[in-house]
Amino acid sequence: MRQSDADYRRILNALLGQVRCHDEGRYNDICMRFQQDPHYSRNYLNWLLSVLYQKNWDSDYSIQQRTDHLRESILELNKRVIYLEEHGDPRAEKREQKDKALDEDRIDLFLEHIRSEVVQIEGREKKESLRLAVFTPLSPLKNGIADYMTVLLLILKQYAEIDLYIDEGYEPDDPAILRSFPIHRHGEFHKLHDRYDLILYEIGNNPHHAYMVPYVLEYPGILELHDFRLDYLHRLLPPKFQKIAQAESVCPMYPEGCGNNPLNLYLLKASQGVLVHSEYSRQAVFDESMSIDVRKIEHFAKVVLEEQDASSLVKAHGLEDSFLFSCFGFVNYAKRIEQIVIAFSNLVRKYPNANLKLLIAGEFTEDYLTSTRALIRKHHLKKKVVLTGYVTLSDMYRYISLTDVCMNLRYPYGGESSGTLARIMGMGKACIVNRVGAFDEMPDFCCHKIAYESNPEREIENITTAMQLLFENGSYRNWIAGNAQTYVMEHLNLDLTVQLYCEAFDHFYRKPTVDTDTLMRKAASFLAYNYFNDPHHAATYFASRLHSYFYGEDVEEQQETEQAPAEPACAVASTADIGTNDET
């Protein structure tokens, strides 16, 4: 039975009203999307079903606890829909009331069905030491993920048996890695894959990860997504996999022909689960497909309290008694290096007697290096700007130790997290970042944030102002630096990170392999068939829980029950996409 348009929008507005009272900007964004994309409203309501999935099927619960919790959810659902019927938008079209007395026997039958279905598939007990296959780049490749994994792997070996699978064309050179792990060329995995409990794929948006794509699609594992956007990686794939990526990465967020498609969904859907390093990426994955099991583990960093011996670098680059601004990492357009150079030139003109220096430590693309050098000559900064080229991780730490203010700008933003930023903070240095994505998730008291401006003059003005503030105000600079180091010590330390990885591995090893989409359709259909006119009323309950899922459990009751807002211009979705009256 299909609802009328007015009744459908009444239920949708019950959802929007709760979003609006917490985040006006998100509410406006949702309404705008409804107008632009006819599939979005359907996707948004389906998205709500994942709330029940997250609540009831986490590996921390026993099967009995999960089904008991589902019973509680059904009881809450009944109360919530009655409330919405009695206190709904008075302007909405009224529907015929239906007896909503709960049938306890039917609930028991349904829970027993779900319980037996999960028991048949799950059946794996906690294992003390998992056997992992890890696909990752390694040193000497010039790759930040290789540096990240070198540290992490040497700790994880205490908790798991790990084999490494690498690309052709290079020989790993880290002595500790060579001593600690069996290392295979990736082609060997076809005959060895059965020996592993889990597979971990370290995916980034660069050529060093292209070899992993066929294995992700053939042998489902855990996808650690270091960059949300994989469009550059996509261009490096053979035509066969480019076609798969394009066909399988279409979703309501990125419909066919969308030029902004991150081209990652084909890998996400093929995986048992996904690890990301920021809330931005977690939410972005969730927006693409609510059925993907995604967990966030932030970049770790070590706190460096001891002095670094950087005297040779000071002498080599003439950095004696200088106030040093520095940029680190692979250099491309998104790092805003040219804008930083211009802002630095403004500072040099303003303080002609100050010994200001700008250090750019990282490998350039050839074209970008040419244009940057031309810009340095144009502003007469040849003696003020130092270009080092690629530096090793140990040298990076030494350069950071010399730095007074680090620059870590990013735009356009591809969903990446910065291991360099975490290292900078761990060394107690003040950093200037853009207020975007994962960078904006760092507390405001740990780094100095500036907005990105589409107006070039305004952007350079913002960068100049920030650099000047941190140059002039030593107290503020030291306050940020101290806060950053404390934050890393408390929240980004390696012990906590390893614990989160171990919990994630245990979760993905023990989790039910039940078809989540099918289970949710059954749950929604059961609720709708037994208590409500159609599945939209089941979805309404999940709508009522949306705010607590994203904003915490301590939301005031009156916020939850505010009157729904005026009806937005929303596209109407088919009820068939929410659930059908399948047999349970």
Q: What is the pLDDT of residues 98-115, one digit of tens each?
A: 344 445 555 566 656 655
pLDDT band at 76 (very low <50, low <70, confident <90, very high): low
Give residue 340's identity as a one-letter amino acid code.
I
Residue 238 has pLDDT above 70, yes or no: yes
Q: Which CATH superfamily is domain 130-300+495-510 in?
A: Glycogen Phosphorylase B; (3.40.50.2000)
Is the Cβ–Cβ distance between 138 and 177 less than 8 Å? yes
Q: Cis (ω within 30 of 0) for the bond into 412? A: yes
Q: Which two tokens stand for residue 384?
A: 């003020």
Q: pLDDT tens digits, residue range 16-33?
A: 554 555 556 656 666 665
Indicate the pLDDT class of residue 129, thresholds 50, 70 and 90.
confident
Q: Using an 8 Å Cβ cutoff, are 415 and 281 in contact? A: yes
Phi-psi region of 99 (alpha: psi -120 to 50; beta: other; left: phi over 0): beta
How, if at all, do strands 294-296 and 273-276 pair? parallel
Q: Which of 312, 337, 334, 339 is nearest to 326 (CA)?
A: 337
Is the pLDDT score of 37 beyond 80?
Answer: no
Q: Tell me the pLDDT of the chain averaged across its residues.
A: 76
pLDDT at 292: 79
Please give the pLDDT value at position 413.
84
Q: Where are the domains of the chain?
A: 5-122+517-577, 130-300+495-510, 311-492
Give the tokens for residue 257.
């022909």
Report the pLDDT value the prediction gives residue 44, as an integer from 0 to 100. Answer: 45
Least reliable range by pLDDT among 98-107, 111-120, 400-409, 419-428 = 98-107
How high is the pLDDT of residue 508? 87
pLDDT at 385: 93
Give the mean pLDDT of 414-422: 86
Listed range (326-335, 359-368, 555-564) with the worst mean pLDDT: 555-564
The pLDDT tens digits of the residues spanning 500-559 come to 999 999 888 877 655 555 555 555 555 544 544 444 444 444 444 333 333 334 433 434
Q: What is the mean pLDDT of residues 422-434?
A: 93
Under the banding of pLDDT at 50, 70 and 90, the label for residue 378 is very high
Better pLDDT: 260 or 523: 260
Q: Do domains 130-300+495-510 and 311-492 have the same CATH topology?
A: yes
CATH code, residues 311-492? 3.40.50.2000
pLDDT at 576: 27
